[in-house]
A = this chain, B = another copy of it.
Amino acid sequence: MNSHLDKINDFTARLDIETLTALNAISVEKIFKKGNFLLRQDEVCKKSYWIEKGIARKYYLNDGKEITTELYFDNDIAVSFDSYCLQKPSREYIQALTDTTILQTDFGAFQTAKQQFPKLAKLDLMMTEYYAMWLEDRLFQFHTMDATHRYLKLIEDHPYIIQNIPLTFIASYLGISLETLSRIRAKK
């Protein structure tokens, strides 16, 4: 979902072989079936999830209602951020919306590897920076754009999203009701 991720992929692709090997050594490929959870509320987020192929979402419950905070596609990185950083129980769920192949990297092992491979530390900072910029942009959109414009921006950035994800999740992600999203789509 984070459009800056191209740059992170570039950076990762250009890592020297030793660093890349070290990263691979602490990463495991896994497959999650549609509907399954990479992470549930109250669990500590001990892995970062590189989505190789598939779609996932992150959400939390607010008095019974699901609020989707992020949608993930190929090459996105999913974590419950504060849970991951502080290794404390997560407020959020991360769920596969399709069968999804991910590369998961262990938090502890990554912290250790960073000390040996400075480029991994650099990568960590870079990913965090881009995530913060993405959050700033999301806040910006909520402050300056109405529901229709937020929707248009979303399908502009991710045209395929409509084919693949139930509208409830998209509506929630956009911060509007399902009905409003439906009406926006009906117009024009």
Q: Please report A residues at the B interface, Cβ cutoff 8 Å.
A: 62, 67, 69, 81-82, 85, 121, 124-125, 128-129, 131-133, 135-136, 138-139, 142-144, 175
Contacts and interface: CB of A to CB of B under 8 A. Distances in A.
A162 to B, nearest CB: 22
Secondary structure dominating the interface of A: helix
Given A81-B136, A128-B128, 17 more contacts: A62-B143, A62-B144, A67-B144, A69-B136, A81-B132, A82-B133, A82-B136, A85-B133, A121-B121, A125-B125, A125-B128, A128-B129, A132-B135, A135-B135, A135-B139, A139-B139, A143-B175
Contacts of A144: 62, 67
A10 to B, nearest CB: 14
Contacts of A175: 142-143
Considering the complex of A and B, which 3 residue pairs feature the smallest CB-CB distances, nearest first? A135-B135, A132-B132, A128-B128
A133 B125 CA distance: 14
B125 A69 contact: no
User: Which of A124, A131, A132, A175 counts the most chain B CB atoms within 10 A?
Assistant: A132
User: Which of A67, A124, A143 counts the most chain B CB atoms within 10 A?
Assistant: A143
Contacts of A81: 132-133, 136
A142 B175 CA distance: 9
A136 B135 contact: yes
B85 A129 contact: yes
